[in-house]
Amino acid sequence: MIEIKSVAQIEKMRVAGRIAAQALKLAGERVRVGTTTAEVDKVVREYIQENGAIPSFLGYGGFPASCCISINSEVIHGIPSQNRVIACGDVVKIDIGAYLDGYHGDCADTFIAGVISEEKLKLVETARAAFWAGVEQLKVGNRMGDVGAAIQAIVESAGFDVVKKFIGHGIGANLHEEPEVPNYGTPGRGTRLAVGMTLAIEPMIAAGSADVRVLEDDWTVVTVDGSLAAHFEHTVALTENGVEILTLAD
């Protein structure tokens, strides 16, 4: 069942979302050659906790860290570690959630450490462009298929592939709620969009094949062919005045 949020509930999500977004901004600034992913995770945890919130991911389903950090062919759910050192040219995806006053905010971005190649930059920019194409379809009366189709079109026109095994989701009092938000679809099909919906829109794309598998840690998702991946996400709300991005940093 899809929970339609009130103005007051969306305000709470806005506050949680701002904390998550600011933590993501700080994390991105720490993506440097020689930094461990555990150091980045520490920055995230401390910032969220200092602002009175709880890292949404810490302990979620047994996840052992405050954020997901996935590098190169790792798509999502990478576990931060003291043994994982960021190297020059690494494509680093960071996914962060913050929980405050009963509600979550969830956001992610992809950063490149050191030297940036045109191929990697195109991949990252395509993930971001796909997100915004999806947002443009978030109109009352449209359907979820309109959102997914718009995302898919941007990704495939750039020569990349949409990861279909993992998708976006509703969000609110629970980190993952209905409805499902695929990054692919058929226009005019799927759940009808309505005011009060709060969604995590998150294109996950691969430079090669989008076939993925989960590593032995039971968390980290990687591309089967070893191709690079990118991820971009915001929590959004459909309001009477249009779409609002709830995970914006100051």
pLDDT per position as a tens digit, 51-101: 999 999 999 999 999 999 999 999 999 999 999 999 999 999 999 999 999
Give per-residue pLDDT as tens, 136-168: 999 999 999 999 999 999 999 999 999 999 999
240 pLDDT higher than 90: yes
CATH number for 197: 3.90.230.10
Flag whether 113 is in a domain: yes
Flag whether 145 is in a domain: yes
Per the structure, the count of domains in the chain is: 1
Mean pLDDT for all residues in the chain? 98
* pLDDT given at position 202: 98
> In the structure encoding, which two tokens stand for residue 33, read together?
């050659």
> In the structure encoding, which two tokens stand for residue 2, read together?
């899809």
Rounded distance, CA 186 to CA 131, Å? 17
Q: Which among 120, 113, 123, 121 has a CA at the least distance from the CA of 36? A: 113
Rounded distance, CA 100 to CA 48, Å? 9
135 Ramachandran zone, left/alpha/beta (phi>0; psi -120 to 50) = alpha
Flag whether 236 is in a domain: yes
* pLDDT given at position 250: 82
Flag whether 250 is in a domain: no
Domain that holds residue 167: 7-245
Flag whether 1 is in a domain: no
- Tell me the residue type at 182: P
Flag whether 231 is in a domain: yes
Flag whether 2 is in a domain: no
Flag whether 27 is in a domain: yes
